Amino acid sequence: MIEINLLPKEYRKRSFDFSLGKAGLYVIGGAVGVVCLLFAITFMQKAQISELDANIAKAKRRAAMLQKDIALVEGLEMVKAKITQRMAAVERLDRHRNVWVQVLEEIARDVPEFVWLVKFSQEEPPAPASKDSTAAKASPRDTVVKPARLEGYAFTLNALAAFMINIMRSDYFDDVELVSTNEMKFDKYSAFNFVLSCNVHLLADRESRKAVAQADDAKQNKNTSHKSLN
């Protein structure tokens, strides 16, 4: 069946008619493009975040490995420092080994009766004030001067004075000074605790042997003259 609507246009029933036109199509295309662009950016950012997380995990593992290496290196440095200190101490002892033996023998000979030593220590030399003072106090060739301290006990002040005189007469010591004396009680007895400061001359081997030989000759001559007088 064919229906023909003969009514005028203004009386006809209008149907829904929606038309976007070219401008609407452009707007929709732009919106779709923006959505696609945002989706692509989001995807790229997620990929970058995943890559950063992987790099962070790798860096943490590397840092843990480096911490072990750092601890190992620090341990090796500590061992090296201890070995260096021991080598330096051995070198200092070996540098004037024979002379130190002779110095201790000289001290043992110089200790009189009623005096005993408890400590003999080498001190660090003071820093020179100027080059002129250093040149003025320069030691002879093959001689090294080291400050030292002697600590011990004496039953009488006369015995302490005799010990100081013996030290002063030695070729190995000079600038002997009494730093302190304190009277102390040992049960029923009293003694004087003393501290002496001095300079020790570490002569070369030939010089030290010569000095020891002269000291021995002097003591032998003294003993011979004493026996002849008796």
Q: pLDDT tens digits for 198-225? A: 998 876 555 555 555 665 666 666 656 5
Angle at 149 between CA 108 and CA 209, to 5 degrees: 45
Q: 106 near 172, Cβ under 8 Å?
A: yes
Mean pLDDT over all residues of the chain? 77
pLDDT at 96 over 80: no
Residue with more model confidence, 224 or 41: 41
Q: How many residues appear in the chain?
A: 230
pLDDT in the model for residue 140: 46
pLDDT in the model for residue 70: 87
Residue with more model confidence, 199 or 14: 199
Buried/exposed code over 185-198 (b: 16+ C-beta within 10 A; e: otherwise): eeeeeebbebebeb
Residue with more model confidence, 24 or 139: 24
pLDDT at 10 over 70: no
3-state SS assignment for residue 5: coil
145, burial (CB in 10 Å: exposed 0-12, middle 13-18, buried 19+): middle
Residue with more model confidence, 98 or 87: 87
Render pLDDT for 50-93 as a digit per residue (tens, 0 to 9). 888 888 988 888 888 888 888 888 889 999 999 998 888 777 66
Residues in CB range of 162: below 8 A, 6 or more apart = 112, 115
Residues in CB range of 200: below 8 A, 6 or more apart = 103, 122, 145, 146, 147, 148, 172, 173
pTM of the predicted model as reported, rounded to 2 decimal places: 0.47
| Closest residue by Cα to residue 204 from 122, 99, 107, 100 | 99
| Closest residue by Cα to residue 166 from 135, 123, 196 | 196
Give the Cα separation of 32 and 175 in Å (integer): 102
Render pLDDT for 104-157 as a digit per residue (tens, 0 to 9). 888 999 999 999 999 998 877 665 555 444 443 444 444 578 899 999 999 999
The one-character DSSP state at 111 is -
